[in-house]
Each structure stands twice: as C-alpha cells, then as structure tokens.
Chains A and B, each alone.
Chain A
Amino acid sequence: DIQMTQSPSTLSASVGDRVTITCRASQSISRWLAWYQQKPGKAPKLLIYEASSLESGVPSRFSGSGSGTEFTLTISSLQPDDFATYYCQQYNGLHTFGQGTKLEIK
C-alpha cells in the first residue's frame, strides 16, 4: 500500500502570506497526485490534478509541483477564502489520502 505523509498538520498564516504544504509518498506515484480544499460541512473541492494541473475555475494563486515521491501545494498570496483544510491524494492504482493540513488564520 502507498502511504501519503502530509505536513504540516496545522499551519497558521496571515492574509497575503505565501504558504507551502508538502506531501510525500512512500513510493513513486509519478505525477498521479491531486490536491483538494475542504471547508466545514462541505465536500472537498479539487484544486490540482496530475501534480501540477490547475483545475478549471481555481484561482492562479494555487499551484502544485513535484513528481515521484515529493509534492507541494503553494498558495502565493493567501486570501480570506483560503482558510480551510487541504488534502493530497495519490491515485496511482489504489488511492490514498494524506492526513490533511488545517490552514488557520494567525
């Protein structure tokens, strides 16, 4: 089974900050990685697929990078609407989600 280790689990930041969340796979998953944003009581929203492809309609301040086992989600300038929980997901065969990163207002 492929395990996904996401860090940090909690991140405190301010509006306008640049933040990075990291996801590490226990073995190579090529580019088969997605990032989701989830707000309380809502279904996750797809932000990034295939590691670096921006989903249609998602603001360009969100970007993804990486391949193999190391991946990052970067938000270039935090906006008030971005405070939420973020999950990575690998889909190289069987799927696995990371543990999540709660992005809080500092």
Chain B
Amino acid sequence: QLQLQESGPGLVKPSETLSLTCAVSGGSRSSSGYYWGWIRQPPGKGLEWIGTTFYSGSSYYNPSLKSRVTISVDTSKRQFSLKLRSVTAADTAVYYCAAQYCSGGSCYAYDPWGQGILVTVSS
C-alpha cells in the first residue's frame, strides 16, 4: 500500500522560501502512472490545490501561485518536493502531499494523502 510522508521546517520567515519533501513508500503500481501533488489548507479554511508533477518531470501549477512555485520529483529517491518562494503570512497552512494514479484512460483522484504538515510563516 502506497504511503506518503511530508517533512520540512514548521516555521519559515516572511520573504523566504518554503521547502517541503514528500517521501513515498510501499505501493505495487508502476511509479510511471502517478501524478504527485501538493495541496494546502489555511487554518479553518478550505483546500487549495498548489500543483502536481509527473514522473517525467512535467509540472502543472495553480495559476494564482505559479510565479512562486516549483514542484519536482526525484524517482531514484522516491520523493517529490515543493518550493514556494517569497512567502507571506497568507501562506501559513497545513500542506499535504498526495498521489493520483492514472492508467488506461482512467484517473483516480488523490489517494493516498500524507498526514499533513503545518507550516507557519512568521518572523
């Protein structure tokens, strides 16, 4: 069974870069069928899609964050990463990583998800 685990600093200063990693373990499907995504949730608010990357390295981003975001994958280490530049207090949120499997014209949605990591932007 595929499992995901986020890691990274829980506190980032304003104007700096938020960097998170999602470690992938388990699973029996080919990793080439997975899209790896990041989603965030500000305290008390709804879910916001940040972006997703494919094993080939192609990435797709939320237009509202695109200028500040980079998502990359390292298949050899079985992990993928999120970098969000020039953060402000508005970027304070629980950040989730998640996996989406697509094959043969069907695409499942995000499952599984990591447990989430709270990142606070504050000086």
Residues of A at the B interface (CB closer than 8 Å) are 1, 32, 34, 36, 38, 43-44, 46, 49-50, 55, 87, 89, 91, 93-100
Contact = CB atoms under 8 A, between A and B. Distances in A.
Contact of B46 (A32, A46, A99): A99
Contacts of B52: 95
B16 interface: no
Contacts, number: 59
A43 B63 contact: no
DSSP majority for the A interface?
A: loop
B113 A44 contact: yes
Give the residue among A46, A50, A93 with the most B Cβ atoms within 10 A: A46
Interface of B: 37, 39, 46-49, 52, 60-63, 96, 100, 106-111, 113-116
A89 B107 CA distance: 13
Contacts of A99: 46
Contact of B100 (A36, A43, A91, A94): A91
21 contacts: A34-B109, A36-B110, A43-B96, A43-B115, A43-B116, A44-B47, A44-B110, A46-B108, A49-B108, A49-B111, A55-B111, A87-B46, A89-B110, A93-B60, A94-B49, A94-B61, A95-B49, A95-B62, A96-B49, A97-B39, A98-B46
